[in-house]
Structure 1
Amino acid sequence: MRMESSEEEDDFPTIESVTPQSKIDTIFQSHTEKGIRKICFELLDLKDAVDNLCGNTRSKYLAFLRLSEEVVETEHEMTELRKHISSQGLLIQDLMSGVCRELDEWTQANGDTGEDHDGSQSGEIDELFPSEVEDKKALFLEHIDVLLVEHKMEEAIDALESEERNNADLKISAGNSSAEPSTYKSALLKRRAMLENQLIEMIQQPSVSVIEIKKALLSLVKLGKGSTAHQLLLKSYGSRLQRSIEAFLPLCPCYPETYPATLSNLVFSSISLTAKESGLMFGDNPVFGDKVVQWAEWEIESFVKLVKEHAPSSETTSALRAASVCVQASLNHSSALEPQGLKLSKLLLVLLRPYLEEVLELNFRRARKTILDFDGSDRNMPLSPRFASPLSTFARSSDSLLVSSGMRFIHTVKDIVEQLTHLTIVNFGGNILTRISQLFDKYVDVLIKALPGPTEDDNLAELKESAPFRAETDSEQLALLGTAFTIAEELLPMVASRLWNILNETKEAGNSLTETISPPGNTNLELKDWRRLLQHSLDKLRDHFCRQYVVTFIYSRDGNTRLEAQIYLDDKGEDLISSSDPLPSLPFQALFGKLQQLVTVAGDVLLGREKIQKVLLARLTETVVMWLSEEEEFWSFLEDKAAPLQARGLQQVNNV
């Protein structure tokens, strides 16, 4: 049987969709009972799926039949509706024909009616039957609506202007301003308002180009909204400026000293462009010009706040440089705006003055701490030989801390001066020079603490014990004096020469730009006045040295004076030397010898500075005379009649 079936399969080829029995036997004859049961369950599931599919097909077919019936019914109803509309149209035509016929008959029967009555009838007829003019108005309004939908605003404005020119009723005159507007005019006003809103919305979009904004603003001006257009112009340029600033602010830490110049360029270029566009669009209208000035002042105030907020720490030289760059850049830009009628320099100075003075104050406080920081004297302070050589000559005769303090002082002042820009010096140079003289006075106080002897200043007396170094010997004290005089007479004038040159140039330039923006009274501090301030500090140091030098000689360690009046009352040896000039008393001879020794030391320490030596010796002599003139006990003893002054003593006093 198996052989016969195989022969039949060869004679009749199998169909792909039908599996032959032989193949089924070959596949499943090796299956177990469990496998056969599994196959049976799968076949049952397939049977259920086929039954469900057949049921779904039948239900969908029935739904399709119902839908077809509904379509047929709908077509029938539409046919009936067309017939009804046609019958209604015929009825309306018959009605209109009848009305017209009755009107003709009524007109013929009342042919002698007055013109006024005819006018009212024609008006009623016109209301019943729209005229050709009304049709044109409706078409025009529809045309405007289409232009508004398509955002063709320029064409809509041109169409409205043309319609207003051709229709006198659309123009509002002074005589009929209180009259009620017509329906057509109200419709045009409504569409005009819609057009204005579209223009305003477009201008406020951040992605709109500058050219499109200009076109929209000009369109608003054409619509008679000049004030609104100008306000939107300022707002638009202000928004663009704000976005530019926000994009730049994250970069400020990368440029701590020069970022104010970039901010100034952004702000003032925007102000210049806004003023230019305002003039082109609105002309020389003073009202709009004042609004531009007010807007520019507000932007400048915001600019100064931004500079302060993103500036480095106020006590650093970077902050001083940033403030100076801000003054230079902003004043240059504001001067460039003056030909456009924007005078903003005074406002800038008012806003920048507190900021710069605060930075200067904190920088000079830092400078004071740096000068007094003797523990950091080994820090690298590069000075050119021009500044270092005059001070290095005192290194052999004094403590190294003294020379280091002098170099630190000059380096600190020089570092501050180098941060200043031209216009900063023009407007704040006098203030800076005064601060330099005050800083030198503080430095002199430090040097006074290093000198031995008492002091009349209570504050200095309290700090005597905390002096970083002490000048005990004559050479050390003279080196200290020489350092102070060298700084005041040579080095500080060299450092401040740039400031004086700029201030003098500004003062001599009668019509210069810098003079117009420089505040009055800034250059009142003359060079001689500044030198007088320095000289006052030097005199304080020199007087302290002379006073302690003379007092140390006159008074012994136990507090007794070496210069007593008794030596001038003693007539011992008068007969021996009555014919010759007696020498000064022994204390004065000792003082003269001490001064001679001081002159010798000064010749070595203050080599090449003869002026200082002469002034110092003269002041020492004056100090002795002043001490004698103020010593009441000495003179009261001489004036005592019980012990008259002898001739020899009188000659000694005269020889002194």
Structure 2
Amino acid sequence: MATVKPGRSRGTPVKENGTKLEEGNKTIMLYLLDLKKASAEEMRKSVYANYAAFIRKFLLNYCTSKEISDLEGELSSIRNLLSTQATLIHSLAEGVHIDSISTKASEASAINGLLNTEHREPSDLEKWSVEFPDLLDVLLAERRVDEAIAALDEGEHVASEAKETKSLSPDILGSLQTALMERRQKLADQLAEAACQPSTRGKISVQHAKPSPIEHLVWRAYTAALSQLVFSAIAQAASDSLSIFGKEPAYTSELVMWATKQTEAFAILVKRHALTSSAAAGGLRAAAECVQIALGHCSLLEARGLALCPVLLKLFRPSVEQALDANLKRIEESTAALAAADDWILTYPPKQSGRSSVASLGNTAAFQHKLTSSAHRFNLMVQDFFEDVGPLLSMQLGSQSLEGLFQVFNSYVNMLIKALPGSIEEEANFEGSGNKIVRMAETEAQQIALLANASLLADELLPRAAMKLSPLHQANYKDDPRRRTSDRQNRHPEQREWRKRLVSSVDRLKDTFCRQHALDLIFSEDGDSHLSAEMYINMDGVQMREWFPSPIFQELFLKLNRMASIAADMFVGRERFATLLLMRLTETVILWLSEDQSFWDDIEEGPRPLGPLGLQQFYLDMKFVMCFASQGRYLSRNLHRVVNEIISKAVAAFSATGMDPDR
């Protein structure tokens, strides 16, 4: 630029010319500032006028892939532009000899050329404010997310203090706040981009894996950033509408329709880039947190008369249901894999870390009783499941969660049934059992352990975990036993019915157990019966006889005593279940005898009638059963009734031969 030399031909002083030029330059600067403000105002009006198109364009480009090289290119262009502006201002200053303009004008242009023009050195805080955006750009370019987040937090803290203490001029403070907002948005873009990349989402198995902590963080950050952007914009639009149009119904209706459309667009993006990924991976907790974050931002609009949460709940529900199903499937598959290697030996649970620790369970029931390894794992996964489902009660997923968990528990019971020797073919068609391989429970102790697993889960652990779905779960009844008892008595009818279904599923296992042991007593390995009419009919004619119970009932007595001893160690504090089990086994054997038509056909119409010795032996066997059942406290009313009916039936068959049973 050519230097303008002052002329002397007209006698005008140089100082006067310089003053005029300086005043003209200041006028130009003021005009440029006014032009900038007018441009910003025009930009704001344009954004509001075309807000729907703006937000669509932003959302459509939200996950566009950004390469680091492009970012570096943009930074390089910005540096070149700043350098050009600095050169231009420096040349202008030299041309008009304005000494008051600082040689640091190039740095001032980075914050809109608005630094104090007084003759003083910038303070350390002002220098930091100028250099801080460059530091953030470097951190973002190098993808150092943690450091960028920390730096943004620090910058917002400094800006907040500077605003309170007025240690920065309004122009510099405004530029700093703008830089912080732009860099935070750029960080959100990077996280959103990462969420779209297959390398971040990963190709994992739904059955055996859960979302990684990095994926969890990305989905949360994406949802939080997008929620803040969309719902703050809706809130601002609501405020502007109220200030301009008041509460005019026509404009209010238009605002509601527009806000609903923006909310739907937001929900579609969250589903596409967060919920769908977490749901497919079985990440119920991640999905729940995304929903909670979105609902938290959305609910703030209710104070402005915009109730948009139902819109989000309706659109989010399918994805959350998918996550729910995937999580239940993962529990089922994981438990099945453990059951294939379970040694069916009861142990106390190992120490756990994380959410499934003693403190997180909120009770000590699981740590007072023994379970096998697969049951321990099943219980821990169920505890986590209900922790995850709890925040989703607003979506009315309680019934669906209970039903899904019942199906998973029923599938586990089917595997326990398959673990009983001799039950594989009989139970092969159980729904949910499929062709899963299960390790056999060979010993009586291992078989009773199967019942210990199922009964403890159904009677105590699962119902207690399901109480987390109840609104009363938030109340603390620790210091009020009467209120705690009342809560148990007034448990939600749906949960009471659910518990009955769990117990019914355990009864299938108990029936199979008793039936298998009854068959082992009654039949030999060759298929011969140890309980036939011949053993009583053929007794008459024997000269010498010692009166003892028949071998099969002696064996029943020994088996029950042996099982009672095993159960006493396994069911500490739950003796009633052991008693009911032995009662059921005794009833199974006697009911078999009562319903064996071939046995009674031989007694009543056989080739040889039932004689006095045979009747006495039969009477002795039945009374022996009632005696040891009574002593063991597992003589039920039903067993007592059936035994008396059997005795009466045998006496009637004997009386039909013309002999007097009283002799």
TM-score normalised by L of structure 2:
0.54
1:448 to 417, 420, 429: 417
Alpha-carbon distance in 2 for matches of 1:484, 1:242: 52
Q: Which amino acid aligns with 2:416?
A: L
Residue 289 to residue 538, structure 1, CA distance change in 2 (3 Å): same
Helix, strand or coil at the partner of 1:419: helix
1:473 aligns with 2:446: no
Aligned counterparts, 1:125-524, within 5 A: 209=40, 212=42, 216=45, 232=50, 234-235=52-53, 247=185, 248-252=188-192, 253=195, 255-259=217-221, 260-311=223-274, 312-316=277-281, 319-374=283-338, 382=353, 384=357, 403-420=372-389, 422-424=391-393, 427-454=396-423, 456-459=426-429, 467-501=437-471
Q: CA–CA distance in 2 between the matches of 1:261 and 1:545?
A: 53
CA distance in 1, matches of 2:63, 2:473: 34
CA shift digits 1:122-173 (9 cap, x unpaired): xxxxxxxxxxxxxxxxxxxxxxxxxxxx99x9xxxxxxxxxxxxxxxxxxxx
Give a deviation string over 1:274-293, Cα, whole Å, max 9, x none.
Answer: 22222222233333323222
Alignment partner, residue 605 of structure 1: 570
Matching residue's letter, 2:452: G
Q: Tell me by how many angstroms 1:405 deviates.
A: 1.0
Q: Per the alignment, do residues 242 and 421 of structure 1 end up closer, same or farther by CA in structure 2, a change over 3 Å counting?
A: farther
SS in 1 for 2:218: coil
2:503 matched to 1:535? yes
The answer as to whether partners of 2:336 and 2:436 remain within 8 angstroms in 1 is no
Residue 394 of structure 1 and its aligned partner are, at CA, apart by 8.2
Q: Determine helix, strand or coil for the equivalent of 1:562.
A: coil
Distance 2:241 2:407 in 1: 50
- Cα separation, partners in 2 of 1:284 and 1:551, compared to 1, 3 Å: same
- Give, in angstroms, the shift of residue 599 of structure 1: 1.0
5+ long unaligned stretches in structure 1: 1-149, 154-201, 218-228, 396-401, 506-522
Letter in 1 for 2:418: K
How many pairs does the alignment contain? Answer: 416
Q: What's the CA shift string for 1:391-412, capped at 9, x where partnerless?
A: 78887xxxxxx82212221222
Match of 2:514 among 536, 546, 553: 546
Q: Please give the secondary structure, in 2, of the residue aligned with 1:436.
A: helix
Deviation at 1:324, TM superposition (A): 0.5
Separation in 2, partners of 1:590, 1:233: 86
Q: CA deviation at 1:251?
A: 0.9
What is the alpha-carbon root mean square deviation over aligned residues? 4.2
The Cα shift of 1:487 comes to 2.5
Cα 1:562–1:359 change in 2 (3 A) is: same
**Runs of 5+ in structure 2 lacking a partner?**
1-30, 65-184, 196-213, 344-349, 476-490, 626-663
How far the C-alpha of 1:272 sits from its partner, in A, is 2.2
CA distance in 1, matches of 2:588, 2:421: 17
The answer on whether the counterparts of 1:308 and 1:355 sit within 8 Å (CA) in structure 2 is yes
Q: 1:421 to 1:648 in 2, by over 3 A?
A: closer
> 1:256 and 1:488, CA in 2 relative to 1: closer, same or farther beyond 3 A?
farther
Deviation (angstroms), 1:360: 1.0
TM superposition shift of 1:605: 3.1
Q: Report the alpha carbon displacement of residue 593 of structure 1 after superposing the two structures with TM.
A: 1.9
Post-superposition offset of 1:297: 2.3
Deviates more, 1:468-477 or 1:287-296: 287-296
Maintained 8 Å contact 1:257/1:322: yes
Q: Distance in 2 between matches of 1:258 and 1:376?
A: 37
Shift in Å, 1:435 = 1.7
Cα distance in 2 for partners of 1:276, 1:443 equals 56
Deviation for aligned residue 1:447:
1.6
Q: 1:619 aligns with which of 575, 584, 597?
A: 584
Q: Which amino acid aligns with 2:595?
A: E
Deviations 1:335-368 (A, max 9, x none): 3333433232332222111110011111211222
**Alignment partner of 1:639: what SS?**
helix
Please say which of residues 360-369 and 491-500 is displaced more in the overlay. Answer: 491-500
- Give the Cα separation in 2 of the matches to 1:438 and 1:367: 11
TM-superposed CA distance for 1:583, in Å, is: 5.8
Tell me the secondary structure at the aligned position of residue 608 of structure 1. coil
Alpha carbons 2:219, 2:290 under 8 Å: kept: no
Rate the CA distance shift 1:624–1:444 in 2: closer, same or farther, 3 A. Answer: same
Q: Supply the AA of the counterpart residue of 1:618.
A: M
Amino acid in the other structure paired with 2:506: L
Asked if the contact 1:554–1:561 (Cα under 8 Å) also holds between the matched residues in 2, the reply is yes
Preserved CA contact (<8 Å) 1:268 1:334: yes
**What per-residue deviation string (whole Å, max 9, x for no partner) do you get for residues 220-244 of structure 1?**
xxxxxxxxx9864555666677788
Contact 1:451 1:477 in 2 (8 A): yes
Mark the CA change 1:525 to 1:304 in structure 2 (over 3 Å): closer, same or farther: farther
Deviations 1:24-79 (A, max 9, x none): xxxxxxxxxxxxxxxxxxxxxxxxxxxxxxxxxxxxxxxxxxxxxxxxxxxxxxxx
Identity rate of aligned residues, in percent?
A: 34
Structure 1 residues 641 and 236, CA, compared in 2 at 3 Å: closer, same or farther? closer
CA displacement at 1:314 relative to structure 2: 2.7
Distance 1:558 1:370 in 2: 39
Q: Which has the larger radius of gyration?
A: 1
Q: Please give the secondary structure, in 1, of the residue aligned with 2:279.
A: coil
- The 1:613/1:377 distance shift into structure 2, 3 A limit, reads closer
Q: Is the 8 A contact 2:379 2:461 kept in 1?
A: yes
Say if 1:294 and 1:599 are closer, same or farther in 2 by CA, change over 3 A: same
Mapped contact 1:257–1:325 kept (Cα < 8 A): no
Normalized against structure 1, the TM-score is what?
A: 0.55
**Structure 1 residues 448 and 279, CA gap change in structure 2 (3 angstroms):** same
Equivalent residues in 2 for 1:107-122 (5 A)? Answer: none
For the residues of structure 2 that align with 1:298 and 1:524, how far apart are their CA atoms? 38
Q: Distance in 2 between matches of 1:244 and 1:560?
A: 77
1:557 to partner: Cα distance: 0.5
Asked if the contact 2:420/2:442 (under 8 Å) is kept, the reply is yes
Q: CA deviation at 1:584?
A: 4.5
Deviations 1:297-319 (A, max 9, x none): 222222222222222353435x3
Q: Secondary structure at the match of 1:469?
A: coil
Q: CA deviation at 1:615?
A: 1.6
Is the contact made by 1:264 and 1:326 (CA closer than 8 Å) also made in structure 2?
Answer: no
Distance 1:565 1:208, change over 3 A: farther
2 CA distance for matches of 1:275 and 1:464?
A: 57
Report the CA distance between 1:650 and its aligned residue.
5.4
- Residue identity in the other structure for 1:250: Q
Q: Is the 8 A contact 1:304 1:352 kept in 2?
A: yes
Counterpart mapping for 1:48-87 below 5 A: none
State the SS of the aligned residue for 2:397. helix
- Whole-angstrom CA distance in 1 between matches of 2:386 and 2:437: 28
Which residue of the partner structure matches residue 634 of structure 1? 599
Contact 1:328 1:421 in 2 (8 A): no
Change (3 A) 1:626 1:336: farther
Three-state SS of the structure 1 residue aligned to 2:440 is coil
Q: What is residue 211 of structure 2 aligned with on the other side?
A: none
> Could you tell me whether the CA contact under 8 Å between 1:563 and 1:587 is conserved in 2?
yes
Distance 2:428 2:242 in 1: 67
Amino acid at match of 1:337: L
Q: Distance in 2 between matches of 1:525 and 1:235?
A: 51
